[in-house]
Amino acid sequence: MSKTIAVIRGDGIGPEIMNATLRVLDELKVGLQYEFVEAGMAAQEHVGELLPSATLESIARHRVALKGPLTTPIGGGFSSLNVELRKRFDLYANVRPAITVPGTKARYEGIDLITVRENTEGAYGSDGQVLSEDGDMALSQIKVTRRGSERIVRYAFDLARRQGRKKVTVVHKANIMKTTSGLFLKVAREVAAQYPEIQCQEMIVDNTCMQLVMNPHQFDVIVTTNLFGDIISDLCAGLVGGLGLAPGANIGTEAAIFEAVHGSAPDIAGKGIANPCALLLAACQMLGHLGLEPQAERVRNAIRDVVGRKDRVTPDLGGTGNTDSFADALIDSLRADG
Ligand code: NAD
* Residues contacting ligand 1 via CB (< 6 Å): 13, 17, 69-72, 82, 243-244, 259, 262-268, 274-275, 278, 316
Q: What is the b/e burial string over 211-224, where b = at least 16 CB atoms within 10 angstroms of the residue's CB?
A: ebeeebeebbbbbb
- For this structure, is 316 an active site residue? no
Least confident of 58-62, 218-222, 308-312: 308-312
Q: In the sheet that 199-204 helps form, which strands lie side by side, from edge to edge?
A: 32-37, 3-8, 64-67, 256-260, 247-251, 93-99, 112-118, 221-224, 167-172, 199-204
d(CA 189, CA 170): 9
The pLDDT mean for the chain works out to 94
Cβ-based neighbour number of residue 257 at 10 Å? 24
In angstroms, what is the span from residue 264 Cα to ligand 1's centroid? 4
- Read off the amino acid at residue 210: M
- For this structure, is 173 an active site residue? yes
In angstroms, what is the span from residue 272 Cα to ligand 1's centroid? 15
Model pLDDT, residue 79: 65
Residue with the nearest Cα to atom 38 of ligand 1? 263
Ligand 1 atom nearest to 268, measured from its CA: 11
ipTM confidence: 0.97
Model pLDDT, residue 127: 78
Question: What are the angstrom distances between the C-alpha of 237 and each of 32, 115, 135, 314?
Answer: 29, 10, 35, 18
- For this structure, is 234 an active site residue? no
Contact indicator for 121, 144 with CB cutoff of 8 Å: yes
For 76-125, the pLDDT digits (tens) are 556 678 888 998 999 999 999 999 988 888 889 999 999 999 999 999 87
d(CA 235, CA 249): 17
For 5-41, the pLDDT digits (tens) are 999 999 999 999 999 999 999 999 999 999 999 999 9
Query: What residues have CB less than 8 Å from 200, skipping those under 6 apart?
Result: 167, 168, 170, 188, 189, 192
Is it the case that residue 2 has pLDDT exceeding 80?
no
pTM for this predicted structure = 0.94
- For this structure, is 112 an active site residue? no
Cβ-based neighbour number of residue 37 at 10 Å? 21
For 140-196, the pLDDT digits (tens) are 999 999 999 999 999 999 999 999 999 999 999 999 999 999 999 999 999 999 999
Reported as a pLDDT band with limits 50, 70 and 90, residue 75 is low
Of the residues 206, 310, 311, 337, only one is catalytic, namely 206
Reported as a pLDDT band with limits 50, 70 and 90, residue 1 is low
Identify the H or E element spanning 95: strand 93-99
Model pLDDT, residue 102: 86
In angstroms, what is the span from residue 262 Cα to ligand 1's centroid? 5
Mean pLDDT of the region 68-79: 74
In angstroms, what is the span from residue 265 Cα to ligand 1's centroid? 4
d(CA 73, CA 44): 10
* Rg over CA atoms, the chain: 20
